[in-house]
């Protein structure tokens, strides 16, 4: 049976086939082509199956987000399928899962590769979204370091002296990488993506319950519970809540929003800044 006879479809590229990214895609993908990228073939097939059996047109693609060539090929594949109107990047590793070096290479440099690559193929009026983290607000970078990051190529990020000297623990590396994500969106919004007449933003989720999040909950002991209890919302959130905000930022009603970050953390950062909760 042919479910959709429309041959020309806008393309949505999702890098990282996790629950948060797929939740966003489900809100915007009706009548569109989904290019699903992930390093795990098993994960790709499972998500492809779930999306197809929900009525979506989806094509899987093995992508190594650590490899510049692989990411560029993913972007080129998206462009070959049609007009690339949406790009969502959720690829990353959490502090309990990886070394500081791996986190920086994947969450920081790998994200930069993706932003750069899709900055060459986005269609006019298109929009991109990087999933960052509330931790991007937990470790302030000196102003001069931020300016340095904003003015160097992605390939040079690992050589920034401040990052090399400071990101020696996985938690700190993660915080720095996520702050750099904000800067990467700002830079792209003002330069390469602007030239394509496309927008790009970041979302910084707080404590979101996903399958991978359980690794963090187990590794951190009571830390997350105290953080939850100290926040204004006094609860965690679901991927679907993040997806609602993501769909807004990618949609037409957000056409004047680019180069910015939306913090969705239930008030965790507010509790830190006011001293209600203290990081350890």
- Residue 60: is its pLDDT beyond 90? yes
Number of H helices, E strands in the chain: 13, 9
Neighbours of 195 (CB within 10 A): 12
* Nearest-angstrom CA–CA distance, 126 and 198: 5
pLDDT-derived band at 97, boundaries 50, 70, 90: confident
Distance CA 216, CA 94 (A): 7
CATH homologous superfamily for 11-206+240-266? NAD(P)-binding Rossmann-like Domain (3.40.50.720)
Mean pLDDT for the chain?
95
pLDDT at 253 over 90: yes
Yes or no: say if 177 and 108 are a contact pair by the CB < 8 Å rule. yes
Nearest to 231 by CA among 205, 202, 201, 203: 205
pTM above 0.85, yes or no: yes
Q: Is the pLDDT of residue 280 over 80?
A: no
Local confidence band at 213 (pLDDT 50, 70, 90 cut-offs): confident
Catalytic residues: 174, 178
Q: For residues 14-40, give the mean pLDDT.
A: 96
């Amino acid at each position: 049976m042919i479910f959709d006879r429309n041959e020309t479809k806008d393309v949505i590229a999702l890098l990282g086939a996790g629950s948060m990214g797929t939740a966003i895609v489900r809100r915007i993908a009706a009548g569109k082509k989904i290019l699903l990228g992930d390093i795990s073939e098993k994960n790709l097939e499972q998500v492809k199956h779930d999306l197809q059996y929900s009525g979506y047109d989806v094509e899987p693609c093995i992508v190594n987000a650590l490899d510049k060539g692989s990411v560029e090929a993913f972007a080129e594949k998206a462009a070959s399928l049609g007009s690339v109107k949406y790009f969502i990047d959720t690829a990353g590793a959490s502090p309990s899962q990886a070394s500081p070096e791996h986190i920086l290479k994947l969450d920081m440099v790998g994200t930069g590769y993706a932003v750069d690559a899709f900055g060459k193929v986005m269609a006019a009026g298109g929009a991109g979204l990087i999933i960052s983290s509330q931790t991007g607000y937990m470790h302030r970078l000196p102003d001069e370091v931020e300016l340095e990051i904003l003015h160097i190529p992605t390939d040079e990020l690992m050589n920034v002296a401040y990052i090399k000297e400071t990101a020696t623990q996985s938690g700190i590396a993660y915080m720095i990488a996520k702050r750099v994500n904000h800067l990467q969106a700002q830079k792209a919004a003002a330069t390469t993506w602007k030239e394509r007449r496309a927008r790009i933003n970041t979302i910084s989720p707080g404590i979101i319950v996903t399958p991978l999040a359980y690794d963090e909950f187990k590794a951190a002991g009571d830390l997350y519970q105290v953080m939850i209890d100290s926040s204004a919302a006094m609860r965690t959130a679901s991927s679907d809540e993040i997806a609602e905000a993501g769909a807004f930022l990618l949609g037409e009603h957000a056409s004047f929003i680019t180069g910015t970050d939306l913090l969705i953390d239930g008030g965790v950062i507010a509790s830190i800044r006011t001293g209600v909760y203290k990081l350890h």
